[in-house]
Amino acid sequence: MPAAARETEPTLEIHDASVLAWARDTLDRAGDPRAMQQAVLDAVAGNARWRGEECLNLLAPEAPMSPTVRGLLSAEVGQRAAEGHIGPANRWFVGTKYIDEIEALCVELLKRAFNARYADHRLVASMIGNMTVYAALTQPGDAIMSVTQPFGGHSSNRADGPAGIRGLRVHDVPMDPIELVVDLDAFAGAARQIRPTLVALGASMTLFPFPVREMSAIVAEWGGRVFFDGAHQLGLIGGGQFQDPLREGSCVLTGSAGKTFSGPQSGVIVWNDPALTEPLTDAIFPTLAATHQVNRVAALAAAAAEFLAFGPVYMAQIVVNAQALAAALQARDVPMLAAHKGFTRTHQAIADVRAFGGGEAVAERLAEANIITNKNLIPTDAPAAWDHPGGLRIGTTEVTRWGMTEPEMARIADLMADVLHERRGSAAVRADAIELRRAFPTLQFCFPPEA
Ligand SMILES: *Cc1c(COP(=O)(O)O)cnc(C)c1O
């Protein structure tokens, strides 16, 4: 489009106007398509250098993939089309001999990683896994219950996500704002009134286990079911470092492959009841997945194999590190949630940073110093405050995989406290953050590269 025509057209962009303007300027200045492509490569390289080599990444939903797993994302098979279920009789396209092998290996590895009878590999996101559950196990107009956002609930289980798209009536799972667990008595009362078809447990801000067994028993009174959205805790669950929802009464476990599980960003779904296999897999194909990125499936399979070898030890250290980092921050006068009960049983620690300007400002200041976290709603926030929450969410998955342990958690807490208490400028803290990151150049908990 010529520049003149572009400027006279009315635009309504949901994206940040200044960043889009930067991109237009960059492309205009580049002039020819080859230079335009170079601009893309430059941005990718910039991120790889900064986030990959110079930052302490404490973003809870992230995990570094092993070189083998990451390499598979650019595998030849990523350009092949393979819709349908595994096996030549189930495919629309021919030529899937090796693709069937890759996908079957992935399914069987996932079953082993999660000790489940059934697994599916075709979810390009965990969001789609939750949509699968709603499509398969609910009817429009049904009531469900899920955790609200200030307690860590995720849009996928609320009215503004897949549950809402399915036309479900979404009610709140009552939570205890101090203990940060389900208020079981309040839940029993509310659930017996609402009689939900499904109760979605699990959350994005997640510190402690859910009473899956007790809640499953309550909803079973009217044939309701519990499903566990373990997006964040998937690795912890598979590694035996958290609760075990499938054995506690949850009918399905969904999760993100790229969070604690440390595989390629995408979704995992596992279950044990044969009666669920047809509804769930029908919802996946042909409803929610077509070409499903076989390169990603290969990476997921390879990550699951690594997980079988290293998962329990890796996941245990993640939790130890989260507890150590939370305790170290609290000791440096950064108030942490759930200090009275050991801070956390997961990869996350949550700081209450209202006294330091709120989550948004604090996350920005830390990022200036190459320490990457995110603003987060906490129970004292109103849901409407989603953009200016009082909390800061801190995750230890990535620093753990780089080999950091408790002494480094104390060091990270020093650096964070320096920023929050404004003891040192961001440039000075940044230099220390880079030095700490560079002292751990080798990714752990994966097979050594072939000689
Ligand atoms: C991250 C998250 C999701 C979405 O997962 P994606 O893999 O990013 O699609 C769903 N539910 C919860 C609780 C999450 O934290």
Cα-Cα-Cα-Cα dihedral of 314, 296, 19, 34, to 10°?
130
pLDDT tens by residue, 37-64: 999 999 999 999 999 999 999 999 999 9
Ligand 1: which of 157, 207, 229, 237 to mutate, judged by most atoms within 8 Å of the beta carbon? 229
What number does the ligand 1 atom closest to the CA of 61 have? 1
Q: What is the 3-state secondary structure (H, E, C) of 2-36?
A: CHHHHHHCCCCCCCCHHHHHHHHHHHHHHCCHHHH
The CATH 3.90.1150.10 domain(s) of the chain lie at: 311-438
What's residue 364's pLDDT? 98
Q: State the closest ligand 1 atom to the C-alpha of 232, by its place in the atom list counted from 1.
A: 15
Q: How far apart are CA 226 and CA 223, in angstroms?
A: 10
The single-letter DSSP state of residue 65 is P
Measured from the CA of 203, which atom of ligand 1 is nearest?
13
Distance between CA atoms of residues 303 and 205, nearest Å: 24
Distance 131 CA to ligand 1 centre (A): 11
Predicted pLDDT at 7: 55
Residue with tokens 């690795």: 235
380-409 pLDDT per residue, tens: 888 677 778 999 999 999 999 999 999 999
Do residues 345 and 433 lie in contact, with contact meaning Cβ atoms separated by under 8 Å? no
Q: Name every residue whose Cβ is closer than 8 Å to that of residue 131 and which is 6 or more positions away in sequence.
A: 156, 162, 165, 166, 283, 288
Residues 117, 242 contacting (CB under 8 angstroms): no
pLDDT score recorded for residue 1? 47
Per-residue pLDDT, 385: 73
Residue holding tokens 């200044």? Answer: 18
How does pLDDT run across 320-329, given as a tens digit for each residue? Answer: 999 999 999 9
* Per-residue pLDDT tens over the stretch 278-318: 999 999 999 999 999 999 999 999 999 999 999 999 999 99
CA–CA separation, 103 vs 91, rounded Å? Answer: 13
**What does the CA dihedral 422, 427, 428, 430 come to, rounded to 10 degrees?**
100
Instruction: Summarize pLDDT for 346-383 with one digit per residue, the tens.
Output: 999 999 999 999 999 999 999 999 999 999 999 988 86
Query: Is the model's pTM score more than 0.75?
Result: yes
What are the start and end residues of each CATH 3.40.640.10 domain in the chain? Answer: 68-304
Q: What pLDDT sits at residue 8?
A: 57
Protein residue whose Cα sits closest to atom 6 of ligand 1? 126
202 lines ligand 1 (CB under 6 A): yes
Answer CATH for 311-438 from 3.30.530.20, 3.40.50.720, 3.30.1490.440, 3.90.1150.10: 3.90.1150.10
Q: How far apart (Å, rounded) are the C-alpha atoms in residues 250 and 245? A: 5
In the chain the first and final C-alpha atoms are separated, in Å, by 51
> Across the beta sheet with 391-395, what order do the strands follow?
348-352, 391-395, 374-376
Q: Which atom of ligand 1 is nearest to the CA of 128?
A: 9
Q: What is the pLDDT of residue 349?
A: 98
CATH code for the part of the protein at 68-304: 3.40.640.10
